[in-house]
Amino acid sequence: MEDQLQGTFAEVLQRNPGEVELHQAVREVFESLVPVLRKNPQYTEAAVLERICEPERQIIFRVPWVDDSGQVRINRGFRVEYNSALGPYKGGLRFHPSVYLGTVKFLGFEQVFKNALTGLPIGGGKGGSDFDPRGRSDGEVMRFCQSFMTELYRHIGEYTDVPAGDIGVGAREIGFLFGQYKRITNRYESGVLTGKGLTWGGSLVRKEATGYGCVIFADRMLATRSESLDGLRVSISGSGNVAIYAAEKAQQLGSRVITFSDSSGYVVDEAGIDLDLLKQIKEVERGRVSDYVDRRPGARFVTEGNLWEVPTDVALPCATQNELTDKDAERLVANGVRAVAEGANMPCTREAVALLREHRVLFGPGKAANAGGVATSALEMQQNASRDSWSFDYTEQRLGEIMATIHDQCLATADEYDAPGDYVVGANVGGFTRVADAIISLGVV
């Protein structure tokens, strides 16, 4: 990194001590920016780097609620409104025991560039809580969501900040959150949250969008080498919203999806996974992936090692950050992997990304490959604003067009910066320049 980038990075470390995921995310973007700053001295003059790294607002609040046994519980809630140069803050809420300010900041930082890449008018933010919805009753989840929204409502709005789901926050949680927002404000302001149910302001294809978009992106990367997903083996990690719909689209495009996982282990189903069964277990019964093997002859549940040991053509990490390490990448390369596309946010470690790029494996970074979710959230906001609802086919067509544009822009930007075929450079530089130009236009605010 050049001096100015080194200096700003040192400031980020000093101002955000211990927030290692944020450090990783900032460093990864900065590593792509050397030629951008040389070519555009106005970014340095206007202190764009410093401004982009400092969130506009960080909110931390207490979330008290009562569990089913009558005991009072306290969790911590967060909303980091990172950057609104391009539009209202937009980004999901994560409910997971591992969530702390650093998680939310890293996700918010990534979100700024991802949202810019979609070309849609949305800024970046992220939120969440260290609350764990797993094993909690519907009543407990509802009481927690109501308490969370009782503080959050004063910070959000359809022109201010529009949260959505992420790990641990799906349609059930969005329903409880929206209900409480409506009650407190006495406004049916559909555009304040996305990922809503279809009968109360949601958009068709939103549920599928992140996973579908990731697979569309992977297929377009393969097309640059005259290949396609048809007939390939695909390994997916996770078994949540992103993983399930990545599997669905991969199957639609003719691949054989052979793995999925959760935090207790992974399943290998060499015959190709039975998606109806997986949806029944995860979406209806809220069960564990190990339940799948009890009902599916030939499938095995593995708790040793991880699923990247299974030979595959295409790897789609769709669970959580830093789940695919350099050792995993080495194994994937040794087994002949052709493409890796990040469905999750920052699932590959920095070393893993370096190794994949070194071996010229097609690599789609999350900012680009998983942007279909937030893009379709923006389409949901458009439908809410015009009090309209679009058909599945039309919305999916829009998603396809957006993913194709992101893919092609990444390649064009990478070419412009002498890094042909490098999607990391394309995504980081493309996202950064769009936000940076808007920051300068808006003056020092």
Catalytic pick among 105, 126, 196, 249 = 126
210 binds ligand NDP, rule: CB under 6 A: yes
Q: What is the DSSP string of 134-162?
A: TT--HHHHHHHHHHHHHHHGGG-BTTTEE
Which phi and psi (to 5°) does residue 265 adopt?
Answer: 160, -170
Piece in contact with ligand NDP (CB under 6 A), picked from 171-179, 303-311, 314-322, 386-394:
314-322
Q: Closer to ligand NDP at the Cβ: 166 or 380?
A: 166
Contact residue for ligand NDP among 87, 123, 124, 238 (CB under 6 A): 238
Q: Is 407 helix (H, G, I), strand (E, B) or coil?
A: helix
263 binds ligand NDP, rule: CB under 6 A: yes
Question: C-alpha distances in angstroms, 37 versus 45, 46, 48, 410?
Answer: 10, 12, 10, 18
What is the C-alpha to C-alpha distance for residues 445 and 431, in angstroms, rounded to an integer?
20
CB of 289: closest distance to ligand NDP in angstroms? 7
166 binds ligand NDP, rule: CB under 6 A: yes
Show the tokens assigned to 443. 């003056």
CB of 167: closest distance to ligand NDP in angstroms? 4
Q: Closer to ligand NDP at the Cβ: 86 or 289?
A: 289
CB of 221: closest distance to ligand NDP in angstroms? 18
CA dihedral sign, ordered 240, 246, 249, 253? negative
126 assigned to active site: yes
375 binds ligand NDP, rule: CB under 6 A: no
343 binds ligand NDP, rule: CB under 6 A: yes
> Which residue lies nearest ligand NDP, judged by its C-beta?
240
Q: Which of residues 173-192 bind ligand NDP (CB under 6 A)?
A: none
CB of 306: closest distance to ligand NDP in angstroms? 9
Contact residue for ligand NDP among 87, 127, 240, 365 (CB under 6 A): 240
Q: What is the DSSP string of 202-249?
A: --TTHHHHHHHHHHHHHHHHHHTTT--STT-EEEEE--SHHHHHHHHH
Q: Closer to ligand NDP at the Cβ: 104 or 435?
A: 104
CB of 380: closest distance to ligand NDP in angstroms? 11
What is the C-alpha to C-alpha distance for residues 269 and 292, in angstroms, rounded to an integer?
10
CA-wise closest residue to 254 among 270, 274, 239, 234: 234
Piece in contact with ligand NDP (CB under 6 A), picked from 22-30, 227-235, 318-326, 412-420:
318-326
- The β-bridge relationship of strands 124-129 and 89-95 is parallel
Burial classification of residue 428, based on how many CB atoms lie within 10 Å of its CB (0-12 exposed, 13-18 middle, 19 or more buried): buried
Q: Are 287 and 301 in contact (CB under 8 A)?
A: no
Q: Which of residues 86-125 bind ligand NDP (CB under 6 A)?
A: none
Number of chain residues interacting with ligand NDP (CB under 6 A): 23
Contact residue for ligand NDP among 88, 128, 165, 364 (CB under 6 A): 165
Q: Are 116 and 434 in contact (CB under 8 A)?
A: yes
CB of 214: closest distance to ligand NDP in angstroms? 9
CA dihedral sign, ordered 380, 382, 388, 391? negative
What is the C-alpha to C-alpha distance for residues 91 and 159, in angstroms, rounded to an integer?
14
Q: Closer to ligand NDP at the Cβ: 6 or 98?
A: 98
168 binds ligand NDP, rule: CB under 6 A: yes
Piece in contact with ligand NDP (CB under 6 A), picked from 65-73, 137-145, 181-189, 340-348:
340-348
77 binds ligand NDP, rule: CB under 6 A: no
CB of 243: closest distance to ligand NDP in angstroms? 6
Q: Are 108 and 82 in contact (CB under 8 A)?
A: yes
Active site residues: 126
Q: Which chain residues interact with ligand NDP by CB under 6 A? A: 165-168, 170, 210, 238-243, 262-264, 318-320, 343-345, 370, 373
